[in-house]
Structure 1
Amino acid sequence: MNQTDTDNASQSVQRVYAERFATDLADNRAEQQELTAQIERLRSRLEQLRTDETWLAGMQSALPGTTAPPRPRRASRAGSGDTAAKAVPSPRPAGRAKAKPAAARTGGRKTASTTAAAPLHQLIRALLPLGEPRLVREVHAELAKAHPERGTSVQVVRNTLETLVKRGVVGKGLQKGTAMYTATEPAQTDEDRAAG
């Protein structure tokens, strides 16, 4: 009798632990999935920000008489060094030593390696014919074919197209529930606008 009670008690303890382990394991896996999804969203956002940074830097360097801005400071120093960070860059543009390299960069080097150094948005915009709707994967496939050296994901192409939509260079429409992107301006307009 005592042996039976002992067996029942040990089975009960095992059942409690088995249920607890199963619950903990399910929670662990659910949290892993949630964190993986968050990481993917953050990676996608980071890619979009990098694309925007490249575009903005290209547009800024194309303006006459401007110099490239200094790299932003790390977040750890931003709280204590805000006033210092604002004070340091202001004297630099006053000197004209940096203006010449920026002008040289837009002149000689750009023509030498236009496709290699061209911002992604310019390459994508050049692949969109005026008035012809394209799917994201079609644009991605054409980009991979025309510029195999640019290893770009479909998500990055989608983010770049969405940025161009916000700027009014590309139109977006839905056909059978699928997003289609159409160029609303000639491809040269981006560069003309930057130069002028």
Structure 2
Amino acid sequence: MNNADSASQSVQTMYAERFATDLTDNRAEQKELAAQIERLRARLDQLRADETWLTGMQAALPGETAPPRPRRAPRTGAKPAGGDAPAGTPVPGPRPAGRAKARPSRARTSPKKAAPTATPPLHQLIRALMPLGEPRLVREVHADLAQAHPERGTSVQVVRNTLETLVKRGVVGKGIQKGTAMYTATASVASECDEAPVAG
């Protein structure tokens, strides 16, 4: 009975430590995401302020008020029936200028969003750091990833989730040693890349 009680306590201790670690990682990732959201909100406010300023500056230029008029003409096509509408046409001129300016601002921001997609997916980076047949702890893989790719800034929980995805694909094997999950690469990086298009 004493052996059974001690074994039960050791299992409870192991799960308590694991849950505490997962909870800490979860909260850390929440803080990272919250900080990213704040930075994005600040950037959006700055872009909106810049758009307002640029719109005002563009409207103040005499040469820039003429091009928007042809765009406005189809919308006011029903009003020229009176024939005296030309007096009101200079007023709506700056308004299309603001709308026309908003479109280029989106076009400028889109390349910035598309640039990060050029980096390899996280699962490829993690898989490249795992030698074949060598069991690794999640924290070991996370430490190697942080050292090799500090710009990614991923948490231990994200690395664990990615490894579990690789286990489902059959690229990485999972085993339990002394109550701790160990992950072992079972396929080469080249074979994984060959299978990737099929899965997609």
Same fold (TM over 0.5): no
Q: Quick check: which has more Rg, 1 or 2?
A: 2
Higher RCO (CA < 8 A, seq sep 6+)? 1
Structure having the larger proportion of residues in helix: 2
Q: When the two structures are superposed, what TM-score results if normalisation uses the length of structure 1?
A: 0.41
